[in-house]
Structure formats: structure tokens, C-alpha cells
Amino acid sequence: MLTGVLKKCLLILLVVVVYQNWGKIERLFNPTQVVSEQTQAKARVVLYATEWCGYCKLTRRFLDQKGIAYKAFDIEKDAQARKAYEALGGGGIPIIDVNGTLIRGYDPDAILAALK
């Protein structure tokens, strides 16, 4: 009985890990969707988000999937990040700063446009 419970726990853990890293996993299987390395090298992308926000998770997954390097700040855990977020006007999450262009919410097309 114990081994059955252990197997179920391991399976659930595996599913959670795969879900959290899906963008990275998908990038391994779809390398053609990666943004050019030149664009990546020039880009400065900062993500202000929280751990629990669904749109923040989608944004992280999208950035990972496209191979876009970014710095992520949790505005609930980091006081300096919270101040920076509020200085940008706050009002919702995520806020993505792409080379000085602010994008509010999950908007992949806007992120890609700001990278060009």
C-alpha cells in the first residue's frame, strides 16, 4: 500500500514540475520559435509579477518558450521591486518592461513588437 501512495505522490510531483517548466521543455522541441540571438543580446526585459498570478505564469512561460532572457521580480516578496512596480504606475500584474516599453498584462504580440 505504501508503495502505491509513494508512486502517486511521485507522479503528482512530476506533473507539477513539468507544468512549471513547460516553456523550457517546449523550447527544446520547437527551437525554430526562439527569438533571434541578436534580439536576445540587445533586449532588456524586466518582469514585475507574483508567484500566484496566472497571467504572470503565462508570461514567464512565453518568455522561456521564446528564449528571451529576463529578470523577474516578485512584488510581494521584494520591497525594492514593489517600489519600482509602484513607480511604473502599478495597477495590475504582470508589468513587463521591454527596453523601456511598458506592457501591462499578458500580451505576447506586444512583447515581440517591443523587442524589434
Q: State pLDDT tens for residues 34-59.
A: 454 554 456 689 999 999 999 999 99
The domain locations on the chain are 2-115
Determine which of 16-25, 32-41, 65-74 has the lowest per-residue pLDDT on average: 32-41
Report domain 2-115's class.
alpha beta
Q: What value does the mean pLDDT of the chain take?
A: 84
Q: Which residues on neighbouring strands pair with residue 74, listed in sequence order?
A: 49
Model confidence at 16: pLDDT above 70 = yes
HEC string of 43-98 equals: CCEEEEECCCCHHHHHHHHHHHHHCCCCEEEECCCCHHHHHHHHHCCCCCCCEEEE
